[in-house]
Amino acid sequence: MVTGLQSTRQFCGGCGEEAVSFVVFGGIADILDDPLSLSRKGGHALKRPQACKIINDAARAVGTKENIGTHTLRKTFGYHAYQSGVSLAVLQKLFNHSAPSVTLSYIGITQNELDGVYLNLNL
């Protein structure tokens, strides 16, 4: 919660019922401070450099030469969500951006792409 705003998440399929059951019947307090992924050496939380190394190793395995980081994954999620029809307002709220223009810039949508919608539309 970098900005001090609380964020909530929904789960797809049957995951939601199981998550609610877990929260209601206990167990959530035990894991709130636990990391999502543990290091194989020592069982402590992965640090950002280690997470980036794992992501980059996976990227190299599929032929990607560019450096990939955790932030790249976040931006890529936003770009593909937008391309698949998720509204800009929803993405703006998810990313906690101050304006739609910030979100468009963040996910790499240019004015040329927006103009292309009008130029390529045949009514």
Whole-number Å distance between alpha carbons of 120 and 41:
54
pTM to 2 decimal places: 0.58
CA dihedral sign, ordered 115, 117, 119, 123: negative
pLDDT digits (tens, 9 = 90+) for 34-80: 665 677 777 777 777 888 888 888 888 989 888 888 788 889 889 99
